[in-house]
Amino acid sequence: MPITFRAMLVTDTSDATSLFVGRYLERRSKNPLYPPTLISDGAVLPLISEWLSTGHGVVAEQDGEMIGYLLGRETTGMGGINMSFTPEWAHATKAGSSGSLTGDLYTRWCRVSERQESTLHMTIVFADELDAHDCFVQKGFGRHLIDGGRVLDGFKPGTPSVLVSQPTAAELDHVNALDAKLTTHLYQAPIYRPASPKGFGRFSGGHAYDLSWITEPTKSIWVSREGDAITGFMSAEYGPQRPSSLKYSLLPQIEGAFLDPSFRGSGSANALLDALLGWVSETGSRYCTVDFETANPEGSTFWFRNDFEPLLITMTRRLDARYGT
């Protein structure tokens, strides 16, 4: 039977929700790193309905059945830039459908005449959605960010080669200074993360590590030391803001990590990670997540080497500014 495409209607949100939930439950059955977040219609339907209310979508049907959908809307994101965004729950295709279906849906979404064009398109795909990932690559998208996770069953820290401990309250200024260096590092080559305007969340200048990072049980921060100097830090927090599928109160996320370049190769980064994962294990979680820019070769290599596997891939496509004129 031929596949037909049409604009997504409010009445389609229930079928789209069922399609997504079914695929997500299948995904969780194969990989427990995905938390029990988007496992019910009650969790997903409000997301899709709200996104469609100010955005546009398309659906694919075959023999009277929805076999795919994709919706996006204009929003403000990376670097405070206006962009068209399709989150991980805003597109799905039926298992066994054509491998090119996601690309066909995106092409037709781009042609929605009522949609206001932007020069940046962003989408998030699940790492196991190889067909969807490849479709977006063929449409000009490139990888921007990876959300990765690691199972901690049987975790045992190694013998640290450097001194690692939690900072004192008086040392938080030193940690914030290192976090400012992390922000600068992300703005420079080869990453070139767009600088965000002031007031645009943590990306307008990094974290502000305060006493809560020492006193609150859902947060943890560790520093590496060389003599009297603090050479690096790593922090984690339970349930921070992140993509909806990974936003879970019992799942900790590594929020910040930076090591002074002169101390790289000293074992400090591994010692910091061991300390942080030890805290995660002691607080009862079997899993931990982190996000990192794909254009950061040192960071990507470090997280992959330490058994973090991709869960979500954020992809971007930049259009010529004349496209929307």
**C-alpha distance from residue 89 to each of 123, 192, 267 (Å):** 10, 27, 39
- Give me the residue label for tokens 């496509």: 317
**C-alpha distance from residue 244 to each of 18, 35, 71, 236, 317 (Å):** 17, 10, 16, 18, 21
Helix axes 41-53 and 13-30, enclosed angle (nearest 10): 130
| pLDDT tens, position by position, 96-127 | 999 999 999 999 999 998 888 788 999 999 99
Here the tokens at position 8 are 């997504």
Q: What pLDDT was estimated at residue 36?
A: 97
Length of the chain: 325
Alpha-helical regions (H) of 4-143: 13-30, 41-53, 101-110, 130-138
Q: What pLDDT was estimated at residue 198?
A: 57
> What is the rounded CA–CA span in Å between residue 133 and residue 146?
13
Q: What pLDDT was estimated at residue 314?
A: 95
Burial string for 139-163 (b: 16+ CB within 10 Å, else e) reads bebebbbbbbbbebeeeeeeeeebe
Here the tokens at position 57 are 């979508």
Pairing status of strand 65-76 against strand 82-86: antiparallel
pLDDT tens digits in sequence order for the chain, 325 residues long: 899 999 999 999 999 999 999 999 999 999 999 999 999 999 999 999 999 999 999 999 999 999 999 999 998 876 667 889 999 999 999 999 999 999 999 999 999 988 887 889 999 999 999 999 999 999 999 999 999 999 999 898 888 889 999 999 999 999 999 999 988 888 787 876 766 655 544 444 556 899 999 999 999 999 999 999 999 999 999 988 789 999 999 999 999 999 999 998 899 999 999 999 999 999 999 999 999 999 998 899 999 999 999 999 999 999 876 654 4
* Burial classification of residue 177, based on how many CB atoms lie within 10 Å of its CB (0-12 exposed, 13-18 middle, 19 or more buried): exposed
Domain covering 3-140, topology: Aminopeptidase (3.40.630)
Residue 301 pairs in a beta bridge with: none
Q: What pLDDT was estimated at residue 144?
A: 92
- Do 165 and 225 touch, CB atoms closer than 8 A? yes
281 SS3 class: helix
**Which residues lie closer than 8 Å to 322 by C-beta, 6 or more apart?**
none
> Percent helix, strand and coil across the chain, each rounded to 5?
35, 30, 35
Residue 220 pairs in a beta bridge with: 236
How far is residue 85 CA from its own chain's centroid? Answer: 13
Residues of the chain with CATH 3.40.630.30: 3-140, 151-314
| pLDDT tens, position by position, 139-162 | 999 999 999 999 999 898 888 889
**How big is the CA angle at 213 (ends 210 and 290), to the nearest 5 degrees?**
115
> What is the rounded CA–CA span in Å between residue 35 and residue 128?
15
Signed CA dihedral, 130, 132, 137, 141: sign only: negative
Q: What pLDDT was estimated at residue 202?
A: 44
Domain covering 151-314, topology: Aminopeptidase (3.40.630)
> What is the rounded CA–CA span in Å between residue 304 and residue 311?
12
